[in-house]
Each structure stands twice: as structure tokens, then as C-alpha cells.
Amino acid sequence: GESVGLHLPTLSVQEGDNSIINCAYSNSASDYFIWYKQESGKGPQFIIDIRSNMDKRQGQRVTVLLNKTVKHLSLQIAATQPGDSAVYFCAENVNNAGNMLTFGGGTRLMVKP
């Protein structure tokens, strides 16, 4: 069936380096994508989103890239900090499917001091 998945379950980076978390999706009808950050014992926190009519969107220290040709989504975190350590989920939304989100499996980001 349609699914959203992630290539790497765990990513370890040095503090100050840039991080890139990848996500593959298979539903070509998806038109809205969101990245969430989840710290241990907490609910997911909205980070950044992008619609399918865009291929790049920037926030504060974060950038999301969307490649619809290969159905690939990435989250780039600049100058990664210890506070960025968490599990990151990508989620896709299909507008004509009740606006429900389908979540990927998650990537754990570990920032080494």
C-alpha cells in the first residue's frame, strides 16, 4: 500500500554540523508534507511544512526540500545543537483523503557535544 518511510533510523552528528534527515513517500497524490520533532515522552512538535507546489522552504535553521520526481523529502538542520536531539517524523497529507496524515517510521537524531 501507500506508505511513507525513512532511509536511516538513527543519525549521529557532531554539534555544530549540519544534519540531513531523509524521507521517501510513495503516494503521488500527497500534496502537503510536514516534519515533526518528538522528544522523549512528549508529543510531536510541528517544525516546518511544505506544499507540493514548492520544492524548498526555509525556516529558522531548518530547510525542507521536496523532490516530487523521486518522491523524496528531506529536512536539513543547520548548526545542529544538543537540543535538536529527538526523533523526527515526516508526514504526508492527501487533501482528498480527509486531510489525514500518514507518518513515516521516524529517524532518531543524536547530537554529540
Partner 1 sequence: GAVVSQHPSRVICKSGTSVKIECRSLDFQATTMFWYRQFPKKSLMLMATSNEGSKATYEQGVEKDKFLINHASLTLSTLTVTSAHPEDSSFYICSARQSRGPKTDTQYFGPGTRLTVL
1 near partner 1, rule: CB under 8 A: no
Which residue, 14 or 26, has its beta carbon nearer to partner 1? 26
Among residues 1, 42, 60, 96, the one that binds partner 1 under rule CB under 8 A: 42
Cβ atoms of residues 110 and 10 within 8 Å: yes
Q: Is 27 in the site for partner 1 (CB under 8 A)?
A: no
What's the CA gap between 106 and 113, in Å, rounded?
A: 22
Q: Could you tell me the smallest distance in angstroms from the CB atom of residue 78 to partner 1? A: 23
Closest to 84 measured CA to CA, from 22, 6, 8, 17: 17
Q: What are phi and psi of 32, to 5 degrees?
A: -150, 135
Residues near partner 1 (CB under 8 A): 32, 34, 36, 41-46, 49, 89, 91, 93, 95, 98-101, 103-106
